[in-house]
Amino acid sequence: MLALPFRSAKDLAGAIRRRKLGALELLDLYVARMETFNPTVNAIVVTDLEAARKRARAADRALARGQVWGPLHGVPMTIKESYDVVGMPTTWGVPELRNNFPTQNALAVDRLLAAGVVLFGKTNVPIHLADWQSFNAIHGTTNNPWDVTRTPGGSSGGAAAALATGMTALEAGSDIGSSIRNPAHYCGLFGLKPSWAIVPPRGQAMPGRITVSDIDVCGPLARSADDLDLALAAMAGPDEIDGVGWKLALPSPTKKSLREYRVAVMLTSPESEVDREVQDRLQALADFLAKKRAKVSDRARPAVDMAEAHRVYISLLRGATSYRITPEEFATQLDDARRLRDDPSYYARMARANTMHHKDWLALDEARQRMRWQWKAFFDEWDLLLCPVAASAAFPHQQSGQRWERTIRVNGKDVPTTDQLFWAGYTGMAYLPSAVAPCGRTPAGLPVGVQIVAPQYGDRLAIHFARLLEREFQPFIPPDDYLGGPGMAPRNREAKGATPPSDSPGQRSARPGKPVARLDSGAS
- What torsion do the CA atoms of 71, 76, 78, 84 make, to the nearest 10 degrees? 70
Reduced to 3 states, what is the DSSP secondary structure of residue 518? coil
Active-site hit among 8, 134, 155, 392: 155
Q: CA 460 to CA 417: how far, in whole Å?
A: 31
Amino acid identity at 46: V
H helix or E strand, kind and range, residue 219: strand 217-222
Reduced to 3 states, what is the DSSP secondary structure of residue 203? coil
CB-based contact 148:516 (threshold 8 Å): yes
CA–centroid distance for 253 within its chain: 22
Write down the H helix ranges in 188-305: 225-235, 240-243, 276-291
CA–centroid distance for 146 within its chain: 17
Q: Does the active-site annotation cover 179?
A: yes
Active-site hit among 8, 134, 174, 179: 179
Q: Does the active-site annotation cover 400?
A: no
Q: CA 462 to CA 330: how far, in whole Å?
A: 39
Q: CA 423 to CA 268: how far, in whole Å?
A: 9
Reduced to 3 states, what is the DSSP secondary structure of residue 52? helix
Distances (CA, A) of 508 to 105, 187, 466, 476, 485: 39, 14, 17, 9, 21
Overall residue count recorded for the chain in this entry:
524
Sequence-ordered list of residues with C-beta below 8 angstroms from that of 149, at least 6 positions apart, any chain: 143, 396, 397, 513, 516
H helix or E strand, kind and range, residue 339: helix 327-339
User: Which of 101, 113, 106, 57 lies closest to 80, judged by CA?
Assistant: 106
Q: CA 189 to CA 164: how far, in whole Å?
A: 7
Phi, psi of 447 (to 5 degrees): -65, 150
CA–centroid distance for 466 within its chain: 14
Alpha-carbon Rg for the chain in angstroms: 22
CA–centroid distance for 272 within its chain: 20
CB-based contact 258:452 (threshold 8 Å): no
Q: Does the active-site annotation cover 80?
A: yes
Q: CA 177 to CA 417: how far, in whole Å?
A: 12
Reduced to 3 states, what is the DSSP secondary structure of residue 379? helix
Q: CA 496 to CA 504: how far, in whole Å?
A: 16
Instruction: Please list the active-site residues.
Output: 80, 155, 179
